[in-house]
Structure 1
């Protein structure tokens, strides 16, 4: 409090002025703090919204790319039966008939082979590739084991026979390859125990 110099008593008019000057300053500072808090809140919401929009854009791009890559999945799966039938038709023709058969039979075989190649090329243009795992390591993600058999020529765990080719579309398996898996070389017969041979 300020004092009146003439009377050494407090001067109420001066105190009131000082209080009035302090009140607006505190109010302005409180208002600025409030505005800055709102600004920070809006900035945070804006940054979150921008991040969400970027994530949505990426997800949408990925979904559109997947839709383009895998749109023909159902159709391609239906066409695999035709490809299998063409392959079976070619495999059913004996080798002797291929080399020494009549001209009409040779023409038929060549036509079926040409049709099969054309069908496979068409499927490849649409992202469908054949899986032919002969001699590869068995992979349960790409192959379906039909049997396991000893095979001295093929190491254990490797595909020794392809029963039916598999197909992939993009990075997805459209149909696993049906395969036979090698169990390795057959086990040698065990030698009889010493006691058994002596008793004979």
Structure 2
């Protein structure tokens, strides 16, 4: 007896089902694979971005600090080199001051009236003193000229006081030993005598007439 049952049809008849099966079975294109790769990167956690930004900020701060330290080191090294050049002769120059002192003492000890040979010797000593001072000045050593100036403890050393009401108190009236500076540093203070008994610096006596006022009437 023939089988009248309709045969089983496994083939999908719906058009949508056909398209769906075709899409699943079709191989992925390069663009689709790239999209699937990019999607996880786009959805990276926000805390990772914050961490990377913090690392960049930290590296920038370290770079700026290192740059500032190197700049300070460069400037400090330049100052040290300049000071070494300027003050390298300090000890040597200080030893030469005794030579300048002896030359000055020799000139001051000569009599006022000099005969021919003595005058020649004095001229030679004076020339030697000038050359020595010029050489010292060439290397940054200069003599202090305190006479007539107000006493300055940074450059002067007072060894006596002399009554002198004609000048303000504290004025240097005598230089016993010359002082010297090298650059902007004191090499040796000047030993001086200062006046006392006069008006204070910047003041005048009460009975002194003011300049420009006629008091003869």
TM-score (norm: length of structure 1):
0.76
1:73 equivalent in alignment to 2:90: yes
- SS in structure 1 opposite 2:43? helix
CA distance in 1, matches of 2:98, 2:164: 30
Give the corresponding residue for 1:117.
Answer: 130
Say what the alpha-carbon RMSD is for the aligned residues: 1.8
Give the corresponding residue for 1:140.
Answer: 153
Question: Which of structures 1 and 2 has the bigger CA Rg?
Answer: 2
- SS in structure 1 opposite 2:154? coil
CA distance in 1, matches of 2:93, 2:50: 64
1:175 equivalent in alignment to 2:193: no
Structure 2 unaligned residues grouped into runs of 5+: 1-38, 200-217
Decide whether the 8 Å contact of 1:157 with 1:184 is kept in 2.
Answer: no
Give the corresponding residue for 1:95.
Answer: 112
Q: 1:25 aligns with which of 43, 49, 54?
A: 43
- SS in structure 2 opposite 1:63? helix
TM-score (norm: length of structure 2):
0.71
CA distance in 1, matches of 2:151, 2:102: 25
Structure 1 unaligned residues grouped into runs of 5+: 1-20, 187-200
CA distance in 2, matches of 1:23, 1:109: 98
CA distance in 2, matches of 1:92, 1:154: 29
Structure showing the higher helix proportion among its residues: 1
- SS in structure 2 opposite 1:181? strand
Measured against aligned partners, the alpha-carbon deviations of 1:48-74 in whole angstroms (never above 9, x if no partner) come to: 000101111111111111011101000
Give the corresponding residue for 1:152.
Answer: 165
Measured against aligned partners, the alpha-carbon deviations of 1:106-164 in whole angstroms (never above 9, x if no partner) come to: 00000000000000000000000000200001000000010112113322111111111
Decide whether the 8 Å contact of 1:146 with 1:178 is kept in 2.
Answer: yes
CA distance in 1, matches of 2:164, 2:144: 22
Deviation of residue 179 (structure 1)?
0.5
Measured against aligned partners, the alpha-carbon deviations of 1:22-61 in whole angstroms (never above 9, x if no partner) come to: 997252x222211110110010000000010111111111
In structure 2, relative to structure 1, the CA distance for the partners of 1:103 and 1:155 (3 Å cut) is same
